[in-house]
Amino acid sequence: MTFYKCIRTGVDNPDSGLGCYAMTPTDYSKFGGFFDKVIRDYHGDESGSKKHETDWDTDDADYDVKKLGQDELSMRVRVGRNLLGFNLPGKMSKEERIKFELRMLPAFEQLVEKYGGKVHSLTPDFGDSGANPNLISDEEYKSLVDAHVMFKDMDADPYLKSAGISSDWPYGRGCWQSEDKMRIIWFGEEDQLRIMCMKKGSNLLEVFSNL
């Protein structure tokens, strides 16, 4: 049953580009024979011997897109992260989604102190923990979506719905954006956290370094 939950979105949606999601961190080892093949196929590893290496060293490379004949662009660099101690989004309950948001609030407070801005939350209430001081209106949400600051209604996505990722919408969903609008963190989307830096310009390295 657990493995079926991992592949359900692909079964329900044959046109899905990937069609599977791990439900818990241990699924990658428990169903490693399956996920390893999927990941290698996605990254074009026909040899089956490639290993992931994390390397943030940019050396002296020139990342100015004007050198490629491009004008100024809207540039965005992002990473996805999930926290230990929580199920992955497809298996999180409503209570766990609320708990995750509450866990992140102290971190967001530190970011607000350093970079300004505010948390924009869609969670109607925190249950036993009381009211949500960061709750925004439907109009504010639409405005953030139109500005590409917030993600769209996940409950309207059939792929995410089948995977369980959009369950309990809109609880546990929202974002923090800095005062200068260059830094954004989504919470409660396909990854528990999507950390982004964005800016209109031509030097990609400047955006990457801010991340």
User: CB 125: neighbour CB atoms within 10 A?
Assistant: 12
DSSP letter assigned to residue 129:
G
Q: Looking at residue 47, what is its pLDDT? A: 86
User: CB 202: neighbour CB atoms within 10 A?
Assistant: 17
Rounded to the nearest 10°, the torsion over CA 17, 185, 165, 40 is 40
Predicted confidence (pLDDT) per residue in 106-127, tens digit: 999 999 999 999 999 999 999 9
Q: Can you tell me the distance from the alpha carbon of 82 to that of 88, in angstroms, rounded to the nearest whole number?
A: 7
Q: Can you tell me the distance from the alpha carbon of 151 to that of 157, in angstroms, rounded to the nearest whole number?
A: 12
Q: Positive or negative, the Cα torsion across 119, 124, 126, 131?
A: positive
Confidence tier at 1 by pLDDT (50, 70, 90): low
Q: What is the pTM of this model?
A: 0.90
For the chain, what is the mean pLDDT? 93
Give the whole-number percent of the chain exceeding pLDDT 90.
75
Residue 159 backbone phi and psi in degrees, to 5: -70, -45
Smallest CA-to-CA distance from 185 within 95, 56, 78 is with 78
Distances (CA, A) of 16 to 9, 22, 44, 98: 8, 15, 18, 29
Confidence tier at 50 by pLDDT (50, 70, 90): confident
Structure tokens at 59: 């050396």
Q: Can you tell me the distance from the alpha carbon of 70 to that of 61, in angstroms, rounded to the nearest whole number?
A: 17
Q: Can you tell me the distance from the alpha carbon of 191 to that of 209, in angstroms, rounded to the nearest whole number?
A: 22
Predicted confidence (pLDDT) per residue in 130-171, tens digit: 999 999 999 999 999 999 999 999 999 999 999 999 999 999
Which residue would you say has higher pLDDT here, 51 or 165? 165
Q: Looking at residue 64, what is its pLDDT? A: 86
Instruction: Give the three-class secondary structure for 12.
Output: helix
